[in-house]
């Protein structure tokens, strides 16, 4: 049985090129989308086995789509296909459990290799990104949180508000906000809910 794929990219030429690449392989195009909201809609309607996701799109980035589905508990494989990615977005993609990352200027065979890898449950990173990905993962890993940051993550996970955290730790509410901003950046999350989910799955040490 073929593996269904959703292609998400705002450039029709890229969507067509990927669809052509998949012809005659064990993968079939279930649907395509050209913006973030459409991608979320197609994931719900078509339930693809794998999502190929561009980063730069209208109405929200690919990271917004990945963050949304991971927050909802959707663990299906997602491959980032992008023309460029900086270290911050690379760390965020890895923190959000992107299963593969492929550069658009790479050999097209790399995308097929990536698809095969993630279908089998492995991860796959473009060779040009592997050193950067290893460094980004290290910087963004939960164990890199400072002890006070770990305390704040634990209190957020208990449902405490900023003022309650500040009172319990003997710091100002403004200081709590500064800590939370740094924590969100390190872990690649954008809300307290995502932080609590990630903390439950991979508790900081």
179 and 83 belong to one structural domain = no
Predicted local confidence at residue 142, as pLDDT: 44
Task: Please classify residue 1 by burial: count the beta carbons closer than 10 Å to its beta carbon, then call 0-12 exposed, 13-18 middle and 19+ buried.
Answer: exposed
- For residues 120 and 193, state if they share a domain: no
Confidence (pTM): 0.69
Q: What is the pLDDT of residue 141?
A: 46
Whether residue 202 is predicted with pLDDT greater than 80 in this model: the reply is no
Helices 147-157/192-201 angle, 10° precision: 110
- Identify whether residues 160 and 112 lie together within a single domain: no
Domain span including residue 16: 3-139
Crossing angle for the helix pair 12-22 and 108-119, nearest 10 degrees? 70
166 lies in the same domain as 129: no
Q: What is the mean pLDDT of residues 158-166?
A: 92
Q: What is the CATH number of the domain that holds 196?
A: 1.10.10.10
Q: Residue range 96-114: average pLDDT?
A: 94
Specify the CATH number for the domain of residue 46.
3.40.50.2300
Query: Does 75 share its domain with 111?
Result: yes
**114 and 17 fall within a common domain:** yes
Domain boundary among 88, 104, 139: 139
Q: What are phi and psi of 33, to 5 degrees?
A: -150, 155
- Mean pLDDT, the chain, whole residue set: 87
Mean local confidence (pLDDT), 170-197: 84
Report percent pLDDT > 90 for the chain: 56
Helix, strand, coil percentages (3-state) for the chain, rounded to 5, are 55, 15, 30
pLDDT at 127 over 60: yes
pLDDT score, position 154: 87
Q: Is residue 138's pLDDT more than 70?
A: no
Number of domains into which the chain is organized: 2
Q: Are residues 90 and 179 in the same domain?
A: no
Residues 113 and 94 in one domain: yes
> 147 and 135, same structural domain?
no
d(CA 118, CA 3): 11
Whether residue 160 is found in the same domain as residue 129: no
Q: Of 105, 139, 173, which residue is a domain's last? A: 139
133 with 147, same domain: the answer is: no
CA nearest to 50, candidates 18, 85, 13, 16: 18
Band of residue 193 on the pLDDT scale cut at 50, 70, 90: confident
Residue 53 pairs with which residues in a beta bridge? 8, 80
Q: Compute how many other C-beta atoms are within 10 angstroms of the C-beta atom of residue 148.
A: 12
Same domain, 29 and 92: yes
Residue 149: which residues within 8 A CB-CB, separation 6 or more?
179, 182, 183, 186, 204
The tens digit of pLDDT for each residue in 50-93 reads 999 998 887 778 888 998 898 888 999 999 999 988 887 888 88
Residue 4 DSSP code: E
Where among 108, 139, 170 does a domain terminate?
139
Q: What is the mean pLDDT of residues 92-101?
A: 90
Specify which residues 8 forms β-bridges with: 33, 53
Q: Which one, of 106, 60, 58, lies nearest residue 81 by Cα?
A: 106
């Amino acid at each position: 049985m073929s593996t269904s794929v959703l292609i998400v990219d705002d450039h029709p030429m890229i969507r067509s090129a990927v669809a052509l690449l998949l012809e005659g392989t064990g993968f079939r195009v279930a649907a395509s989308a050209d913006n973030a909201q459409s991608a979320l809609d197609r994931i719900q309607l078509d339930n693809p086995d794998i999502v190929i996701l561009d980063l730069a799109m209208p109405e929200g980035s690919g990271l917004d789509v990945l963050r949304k589905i991971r927050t909802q508990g959707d663990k299906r494989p997602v491959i980032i296909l992008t023309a460029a990615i900086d270290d911050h977005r690379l760390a965020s993609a890895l923190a959000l459990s992107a299963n593969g990352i492929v550069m658009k200027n790479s050999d097209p065979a790399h995308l097929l290799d990536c698809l095969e890898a993630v279908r089998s449950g492995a991860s796959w990173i473009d060779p040009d990104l592997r050193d950067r990905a290893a460094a980004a993962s290290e910087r963004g890993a939960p164990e890199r949180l400072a002890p006070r940051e770990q305390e704040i993550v634990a209190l957020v996970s208990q449902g405490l508000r900023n003022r309650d955290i500040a009172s319990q730790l003997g710091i100002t509410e403004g200081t709590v906000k500064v800590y939370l901003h740094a924590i969100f950046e390190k872990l690649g999350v954008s809300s307290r809910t995502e932080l609590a989910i990630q903390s439950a799955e991979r508790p900081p040490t």
